[in-house]
Amino acid sequence: MKGLLSAFSLLLILSNCTAGNREFAEFEFEGKKLRYGVQLPNDFDPSKTYPVLIGPSEVEEKDDQSFYWRGTKDTYGWILIDYRIYNATRRVEEIKAFMQHLRSKYKVEDNKFHTVCFSANSSSIFSLAMEVPEYITGITGMAGNPGTTNESELSKLKGVKVQFVVGDKDTYWMNAAKQRHAILKKIGVDSSIEIIKNGPHVMRDLIGKGFLERANRLRN
């Protein structure tokens, strides 16, 4: 009986994503149910269109949110999604199915998604964006950079808005961001860079509002 009650409680959590609360939900891919996290705006209205932001997460625990909105109580008008989007270039069909699932559940602004990457996960998330640019409208590196300087590869980001946010004390990542930004501008990719004065590698002060305001810059 205890097991049945636990299963029933989990089902309620998975099926009811309430505005303002971060909950688990599921989608099905190749016969498997895969879990993701979702947090809706406090005033969420299913009849309205919203920007949707997908960030990297293991999605194992209830508080396992993507780093730059971890613990936030206000999404500032965004639908925030946590999923295993890092190291996903061998799971492209799964990621496409996931985004199609989100499109079926929510009215997604411009029918495309924003994403964020940082530090060690950034190369693989940029690579994923190059694989599915038709699904991505904006990507923010906090600090995070593409793992390649190859112009032919980076040209796959045409049509995607890219921004780099990096601290000036984070010398390695700052120099890499400047280099990638210059290449992207050269080949006609919409790219911008912000260097945070006295900013470290992990910019904890930007968690929540600071990051989400920056993500807003990439909205059409």
In tens digits, what is the pLDDT along the chain, a chain of 220 residues?
A: 444 334 433 333 333 456 668 899 999 999 999 999 999 999 999 999 999 999 999 988 767 799 999 999 999 999 999 999 999 999 999 999 999 999 999 999 999 999 999 999 999 999 999 999 999 999 999 999 999 999 999 999 999 999 999 999 999 999 999 999 999 999 999 999 999 999 999 999 999 999 999 999 999 7
Residue ranges of the domains in the chain? 2-216
Q: Name the CATH topology of 2-216.
A: Rossmann fold (3.40.50)
Task: Give the global pTM.
Answer: 0.89
Tell which residue, 71, 70, 191, has the closest CA to residue 129: 191
Q: How many CB atoms lie within 10 A of CB 36?
A: 20
Asked if residues 191 and 184 have their Cβ atoms less than 8 Å apart, the reply is yes
111 Cβ neighbours under 8 A, 6+ residues apart:
103
Residues 6+ apart with CB under 8 A from 39: 20, 21, 22, 23, 65, 69, 72, 75, 79, 80
